Amino acid sequence: MSSARTERKVVLAVREGHIEPRLLASARSLCERLDAELDILARVAGPALPGELEEFIESLRAAGVSYSLARKPEMRRRDIVQYANTHECVATVVIDSLEGWESVAEDRASDPWSRLACPLVTAAAPKPPQN
């Protein structure tokens, strides 16, 4: 008797300069808990990937975690939402923070995250308390 495995994916959207260990660990943990593959959408400007992302990909390979990587030099919030909403198997989207994506959005007043058809996880490092 065979059982069909439901394909699930976690989308990790990263931006150069905002790739923190907590963000990467959150995405990997979700993949493990959900038995899901990882789709990495990377907003990087140059031909080389940031070192943190290279190391993360190596750790995924070593652990046997299935992943895909798409470079998107001009990725905006709505691009992430569109990607997730057009792939039925996406269980969740992981980003560092809601802040900062607006700087590349054409319409800063819009809220594409509200149209996301799956849960959105923000995994930024907590801000230190202000005195």
- 73 vs 60, higher pLDDT: 60
| Cα 66 → chain centroid | 14
pLDDT digits (tens, 9 = 90+) for 7-16: 899 999 999 9
Q: Which of 5, 6, 87, 79 is nearest to 42 (CA)?
A: 79
CATH superfamily of 9-122: HUPs (3.40.50.620)
pLDDT bucket at 36, cuts 50 / 70 / 90: very high
Cα–Cα dist 9/30, whole Å: 10
Domain residue spans in the chain? 9-122
- What confidence category does residue 108 fall into, taking pLDDT thresholds of 50, 70 and 90? low
Instruction: Assign residue 35 a region (left: φ > 0; alpha: ψ between -120 and 50; beta: otherwise).
Output: left
